[in-house]
């Protein structure tokens, strides 16, 4: 399975913060926003990842992450010069995906919860068509909503319904088989001129090959795409890290624990950043694992 982080868009909701920088480079507490979606793909066991962003943003993202080798990853980059919809990511990334499955995550989404790595890997193994990830919300009329029947099967998907049939918001994490590329190519732009991911999901639903993995009690999903939600995400990560003494979306620690890098590599990364709490944490983790 290949991974895609869609880190595009003009970030107009975040002005003036994003007038001179990519939204995905803004900080969620003590790490760049892009670390959080990358961490999800890494936890799912995905090491070949394409980052799609705007032409002005790619040099800065590349300066931050490089080719991924320091994390045991293979990172590549592609441009989306205008926001033409989430589904366009599969057209842009067709060469990267090849003839295999793919996982797409939006660049401003944060996921956290006990047992999340196991759930991700199980979802990969069970993939038959598409797997969506739902999270309960109190205001479902603001989201794409997935309705499930008594047996837990996905039976309907509605985008921002006036009368929601459930409170399961479809998050910005998606697993697809290889058919997603041709489905995306076959879509007509919506009224707002974009290739909608909901239209992709509806094709799979009509085929009977869409399922919803519900992230219930114990899971957190945050979209850091506004000033308020960015602050809320930062406060959440701060509380978790201060109370539990762990780091959320620490890419080097994940790489070490997943076997992508060795102890020495992790320690060197920490030593390079030893003046920061993040760097000292990496050195401590490396010494603990050693």
Give how far the C-alpha of residue 34 lies from the chain's centroid of Cα atoms, to the nearest Å: 8
- Is the predicted pLDDT of residue 174 greater than 90, yes or no? yes
Question: What's the predicted TM-score (pTM) here?
Answer: 0.96
**Other C-beta atoms lying within 10 Å of the C-beta of residue 268:** 16
Higher-pLDDT residue of 73, 290: 73
User: Per-residue pLDDT tens for 228-280?
Assistant: 999 999 999 999 999 999 999 999 999 999 999 999 999 999 999 999 999 99
Where residue 196 falls among pLDDT bands split at 50, 70, 90?
Answer: very high
Phi, psi for 148 (deg, rounded to 5): -115, 155
Q: What is the pLDDT of residue 59?
A: 96
**Each residue of 18-32: pLDDT tens digit?**
988 899 999 999 999
How far is Cα 124 from Cα 140, in angstroms, rounded to an integer?
27
Q: Are 111 and 71 in contact (CB under 8 A)?
A: no
Backbone angles phi, psi at 230, to 5 degrees: -65, -45
Buried b (16+ CB within 10 A) or exposed e, 90-114: bbbbbebbeeebbbbbbbbbbbbee
Tell me how far the alpha carbon of residue 188 is from its chain's centroid. 25
Rounded-to-integer distance, Cα 261 and Cα 73, Å? 9
pLDDT digits (tens, 9 = 90+) for 117-130: 999 999 999 999 99
Q: For 275-287, what is the mean pLDDT?
A: 96
């Amino acid at each position: 399975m290949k991974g895609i982080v869609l880190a595009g868009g003009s970030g107009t909701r975040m002005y003036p913060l994003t007038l001179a920088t990519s939204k995905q480079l803004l900080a969620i507490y003590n790490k760049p926003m892009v670390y959080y979606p990358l961490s999800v793909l890494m936890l799912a066991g995905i090491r070949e990842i394409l980052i799609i962003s705007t032409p002005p943003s790619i040099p800065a993202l590349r300066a931050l992450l490089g080719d991924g080798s320091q994390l045991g990853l293979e990172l590549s980059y592609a441009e989306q010069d205008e926001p033409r919809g989430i589904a366009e990511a599969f057209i842009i990334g067709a060469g990267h995906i090849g003839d295999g499955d793919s996982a797409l995550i939006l660049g401003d989404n944060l996921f956290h919860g006990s047992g999340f790595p196991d759930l991700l890997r199980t979802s990969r193994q069970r993939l038959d068509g598409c797997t969506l990830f739902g999270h309960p919300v109190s205001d479902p009329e603001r989201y794409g909503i997935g309705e499930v029947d008594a047996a837990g099967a996905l039976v309907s998907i509605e985008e921002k319904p006036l009368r929601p049939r459930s409170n399961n918001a479809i998050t910005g994490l998606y697993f697809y088989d290889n058919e997603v590329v041709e489905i995306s190519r076959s879509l007509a732009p919506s009224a707002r001129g974009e290739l909608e991911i909901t239209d992709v999901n509806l094709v799979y639903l009509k085929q009977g090959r869409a399922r919803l993995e519900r992230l219930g009690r114990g899971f957190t999903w945050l979209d850091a795409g506004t000033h308020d939600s960015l602050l809320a995400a930062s406060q959440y990560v701060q509380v978790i890290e201060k109370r539990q003494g762990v780091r959320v979306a620490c890419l080097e620690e994940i790489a070490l624990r997943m076997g992508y890098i060795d102890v020495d590599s992790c320690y060197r990364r920490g030593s390079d950043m030893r003046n920061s709490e993040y760097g000292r944490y990496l050195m401590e983790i490396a010494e603990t694992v050693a």
